[in-house]
């Protein structure tokens, strides 16, 4: 081989080598990055090339798929009772991606997850088309409907948990939206989606208020403050008088902390203070314990960290603060913020004898051949209360419902514990307060449900806004749905 020809051969060899290196780099190093790139249209085409698997409640699918003639997408997502289930399912849209369970379990629903390798292999040999798996939730359809119906015409949220397992039974948010309205990629889908965005809709219907919105918890937080008093030995007898003068002045200030109305709060016992929701008693408890101990107890109930259900829930916050602000935080005001899920966790821990279970909303993942490929197991999250102190708090919360501010939550033949809350907010408290209610129901078979309800806005006159009036009836309906379903 002469010299020029040899040089051409070497050059061609280098080109082939460079090509091999590049191909292998793309195939084995950049494969996942390219596959998951949001600009890779092939991913979206593949996602909607088959009917997606379904999200299941009970034994019924709340999602579906239908054929479409929009471009190169063969199928699009459909939803049954979309607005009711949107806080659980999220959405899957040809044009606007997906969120919540639809996003988190996209590989299962599209059949591309490694857990479905065996199923895909069988399909390849049998000539069957690839199929998606199903996501089976822990939700209770009747409890969800009770929560959704109770929120109609209002702005707010409901979260319900099985205290014994942590399984989420209801997760409603209002106003809501129908994910079907923008599941495709037409101009109408785009108009519907843009109309739901916060910048175009002040009601922000796509906000999952049960998981992602924090509110001042108001007097419902007094359950945590009472727990802190019992756990730290500040008081042990819930029927003994407390050291609670009336009026009581916030520490380091000359500002008296008012109660709501002329209620018997002077040196009131813990039981009577919770029954009448005495700000002075619980504000002083928080001040006596101090900021550090209050944070420690709130942390045990799940405050100050995000929770993954697996959909992310915003962190509720019991703040580091000065003495007067810490006293206000002890009655659920100041910088104290909580999600409805968090307050359902508080009621759940009390109802479950002081043990807080990790909240979760997916029971299992199922392959197209109905084999279970992943089963969720209940998991303990913490123990914010000793069993004897949990029993004392149950006695106190049940007094609230029997003869206190929570009588609207009474259910004949069922033991109900609860706590009302009316949380002030806005500059100088000028805005309508939030109405709260947290509760649990006990039967001879156990404690199947704990609920938190918050009403952020309604047509109710400001003077009539109270947790016992607005939120307690909704909690009662949810508890009844669960209890009657377990009979």
Name which of 266, 257, 275, 270 is nearest 331 in CA terms.
Answer: 257
Cis check: omega of the bond before 384, within 30 degrees of 0: no
User: Three-state SS across 383-417?
Assistant: CCCCHHHHHHHHHHHHHHHHHCCCHHHCECCEEEE
Name which of 178, 202, 182 is nearest 191 in CA terms.
Answer: 182
Backbone angles phi, psi at 236, to 5 degrees: -120, -30
Active site residue 119: no
Cβ atoms of 432 and 462 within 8 Å: the answer is yes
Cβ atoms of 401 and 441 within 8 Å: the answer is no
Q: Which one is catalytic: 93, 219, 269, 277?
A: 219
Name which of 295, 404, 415, 290 is nearest 350 in CA terms.
Answer: 415
Please tell me the distance from the alpha carbon of residue 453 to that of residue 343, in angstroms, as a whole number: 9
Please tell me the distance from the alpha carbon of residue 481 to that of residue 85, in angstroms, as a whole number: 17
- What are the catalytic residues? 219
């Amino acid at each position: 081989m002469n010299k020029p020809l040899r040089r051409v051969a070497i050059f061609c060899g280098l080109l082939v080598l460079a090509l091999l290196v590049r191909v292998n780099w793309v195939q084995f190093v950049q494969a996942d990055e390219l596959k998951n790139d949001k600009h890779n249209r092939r991913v979206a085409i593949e996602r909607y090339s088959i009917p997606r698997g379904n999200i299941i409640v009970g034994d019924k699918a709340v999602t579906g798929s239908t054929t479409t003639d929009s471009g190169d997408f063969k199928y699009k997502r459909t939803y049954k009772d979309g607005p009711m289930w949107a806080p659980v399912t999220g959405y899957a849209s040809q044009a606007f991606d997906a969120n919540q369970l639809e996003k988190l379990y996209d590989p299962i629903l599209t059949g591309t997850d490694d857990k479905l390798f065996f199923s895909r292999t069988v399909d390849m040999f049998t000539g069957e088309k690839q199929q998606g798996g199903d996501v089976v939730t822990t939700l209770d359809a009747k409890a969800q409907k009770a929560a959704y119906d109770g929120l109609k015409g209002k702005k707010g949220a409901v979260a319900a948990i099985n205290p014994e397992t942590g399984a989420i039974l209801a997760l409603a948010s209002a106003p809501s939206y129908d994910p079907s309205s923008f599941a495709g990629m037409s101009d109408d889908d785009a108009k519907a989606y843009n109309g739901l965005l916060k910048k175009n809709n002040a009601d922000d219907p796509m906000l999952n208020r049960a998981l992602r919105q924090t509110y001042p918890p108001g007097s419902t937080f007094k359950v945590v403050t009472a727990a802190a008093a019992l756990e730290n030995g500040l008081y042990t007898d819930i029927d003994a008088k407390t050291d609670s003068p009336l009026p009581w002045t916030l520490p380091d200030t000359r500002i008296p902390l008012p109660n709501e109305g002329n209620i018997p709060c002077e040196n009131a016992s813990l039981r009577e203070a919770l029954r009448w929701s005495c700000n002075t008693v619980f504000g002083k408890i928080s001040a006596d314990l101090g900021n550090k101990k209050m944070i420690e107890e709130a942390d045990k109930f799940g405050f100050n960290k995000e929770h993954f259900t697996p959909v992310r829930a915003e962190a509720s916050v019991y703040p580091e603060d000065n003495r007067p602000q810490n006293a206000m935080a002890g009655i659920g005001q100041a910088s104290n913020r909580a999600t409805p899920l968090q307050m359902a966790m508080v009621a759940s821990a009390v109802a479950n004898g002081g043990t807080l279970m990790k909240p979760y909303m997916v029971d299992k993942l199922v392959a197209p051949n109905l084999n279970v490929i992943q089963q969720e197991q209940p998991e303990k999250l913490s123990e914010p209360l000793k069993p004897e102190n949990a029993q004392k708090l149950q006695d106190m919360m049940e007094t609230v419902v029997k003869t206190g501010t929570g009588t609207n939550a009474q259910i004949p033949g069922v033991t109900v514990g609860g706590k009302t809350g009316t949380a002030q907010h806005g500059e100088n408290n000028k805005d309508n307060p939030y109405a709260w209610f947290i509760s649990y129901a006990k039967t001879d078979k156990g404690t199947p449900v704990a609920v938190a309800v918050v009403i952020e806005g309604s047509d109710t006159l400001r003077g009539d806004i109270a947790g016992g009036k607005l939120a307690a009836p909704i909690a009662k309906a949810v508890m009844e749905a669960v209890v009657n379903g377990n009979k």
